Structure 1
Amino acid sequence: MIYCATLCFFTLPESIYFFYSTMSMTEIKAIIFDMDGVISDTQKLHALVEEEILRRYGVNLSPEEITQKYAGTTDREFFEKIFNDHNISVDVENIIKEKWERMIKISKNNISPISGAVELIKNLRRNDFKLAIASASPHNFIKLVLEELNLKGKFDVIVSAEDVKFGKPNPEIFLLAVKKLRVKPEECIIIEDGINGIIAGKKAGMKCIWFTKEENKTKVPADLIVNDLKELTIAKIKGL
């Protein structure tokens, strides 16, 4: 019987071939989302507020530069690096406090979801995936976003930059999320819009989906690249 199955393998129907070819694949049990730029259209708000603060100290970085180079880093890492590079002495704690006071103020009643994000999250829940958020934002802002988008209670685990020492591209935040989810890294998929996040995910040993509008997609080691979250079907996710 085994001998015959081996000889006849390539004549089996396509559906049976797919079954055999996927038997050895690791089952995906959990999806870890970045929040800003993946669930909520708030990444640009971070960059705009940070640009305003830096400009007051004579540092000129565009929101696009900030997003491209520093998305995913902790606030402390970001501001310390920028001010150290420009030999500017400031109280970073006060700068971070100022940033988040401004962020909360401009975000209330002004948070919109990324197209397809809410539907994707609900679909994943219906299909029994564990869900987590791993975000550089603090817990109070994550809570605000989830409340504004009616997503409160949809995530099994929420990990913030406040919970870790290092931001992305260090994998610490994803490894903590995996530990809290009680799954293995290889059983997780990360959905990220930032290059630092993808690098962190690969370092953590996870499959990575890069959600991006960028035209140059060759520089990022993602397992799948999508321009629209509506492209992410359950079958496509399970097939990674």
Structure 2
Amino acid sequence: MPATSQPYALIFDMDGVLIDNTPVQARAFQLLFRDLGLTTNARRLLARLNGMPASKILQTVFTNSVSEKKLKQYADQREFLYRVLYWDKRKEIAGLSHFLQEARAAGFKMGLGTGSAADTIGYIIDHLDLRRYFDVVVGADDVERGKPHADTYTTTARQLGVPPERCVVFEDAILGEQAAYKANMRCIALTTTLKPEQFQAPLRIIRDFTEITPAQILELLEQQPTTPKPSKELARRQYMKR
């Protein structure tokens, strides 16, 4: 990347992107549902709604109204279960650190944009010593509206000082991909949570960071200079029934 050109930025979701933790997330939800006497299938639920805050996901599984206080209590219970299950399994997705080092050397700015709260972010990126790679970290506490709204990614781009059209988002979720397009950003999808055909129009679909290089991202940006328009059908929150 020429030193005189305006930089590009890479913006990373956390769950399912920096770490391959969707099965553990689903297991924590399933244990909570069992405790609450619910029969919702957590894997199918996350395939639809992954990327939203846990309390918002939980809100969709109840047929009756549940108070915000109760939803937060359930979300905290799910978070405790997740951390217990994942404690000894925390590791970065294949190729991540090497890719981040190469991207930094290539002149990309880098941000983390996730729906997780600050303590959950720290539980992952500080344990794995990943914070040093990111110029900015934006989480649930920094925006009013989470995914599929664009706020997480527009806030990250603004803090990075990079126009949205020069940002590439790494996502594993339908709602996250739609949030990127709403923010006028392009997207690279990881198949940690979904099948390739479930995404709308990413620049590329990868299993992990051994399958992409910063140089290839620049080529993809030249080949696909426009941002896809978000799909109203995919962006719509499709709530699961119990």
Task: Give the aligned residue type for 2:129.
Answer: N
Deviations 1:192-240 (A, max 9, x none): 1111111110111001111116555265122222233222112211121
- Give the stretch that moved more between structures: 105-114 or 183-192: 105-114
**Relative CO higher for 1 or 2, CA cutoff 8 Å, sep ≥ 6?**
2
- 1:87 and 2:64 aligned: yes
SS in 2 for 1:31: strand
Picking from 125, 138, 142, the partner of 1:163 is 142
CA distance change for structure 1 residues 208 and 216 in 2, over 3 Å: closer, same or farther? closer
2:33 is paired with a residue whose SS is helix
Cα drift, residue 62 of structure 1: 2.6
Of the candidates 199, 214, 223, which is equivalent to residue 203 of structure 2? 223
- The unaligned stretches of length 5 or more in structure 1 are 1-25
CA pair 105-227 structure 1, distance change in 2 beyond 3 A: closer
Q: Which has the larger radius of gyration?
A: 1
AA aligned to 1:44 is: P
Greater shift in the superposed pair: 47-56 or 173-182:
47-56
Percent of residue pairs identical: 27
Segments of 4+ in structure 1 off by > 4 A? Answer: 213-216
Equivalent in 110, 119, 124 of residue 145 of structure 1: 124
TM, length-normalised to structure 1: 0.81
Residue in 2 that maps onto 1:110: 89
Query: CA deviation digits over 1:39-91, x for unaligned, max 9?
Result: 112222222111211222232233321220111011221112222xx226461
1:28 and 1:227, CA in 2 relative to 1: closer, same or farther beyond 3 A? farther
Contact in 1 for aligned 2:177/2:199 (Cα 8 Å): no
Query: Partners of 1:88 and 1:218 in 2: how far apart?
Result: 31
Contact 2:189 2:199 in 1 (8 A): no
1:33 aligns with 2:33: no
Q: Is this contact kept in 2: 1:199–1:221, CA < 8 A?
A: no
- In 1, Cα distance between the equivalents of 2:215 and 2:196? 26
Amino acid at match of 1:147: D
Taking the aligned partners of 2:86 and 2:77, their CA distance within structure 1 comes to 14
Give the structure-2-normalised TM-score. Answer: 0.80
**1:4 equivalent in structure 2:** none
CA–CA distance in structure 2, aligned partners of residues 56 and 88 of structure 1: 18
Report the number of matched residues: 214
What's the RMSD between the two structures over aligned residues?
Answer: 2.2
Distance across 2 between alignment mates of 1:224 and 1:216 = 10
Structure 2 counterpart of 1:39, one-letter code: L
Cα distance in 2 for partners of 1:159, 1:215 equals 27
Q: Which amino acid aligns with 2:215?
A: A
Q: Distance in 2 between matches of 1:173 and 1:215?
A: 24
In structure 2, what is the equivalent of residue 200 of structure 1? 179
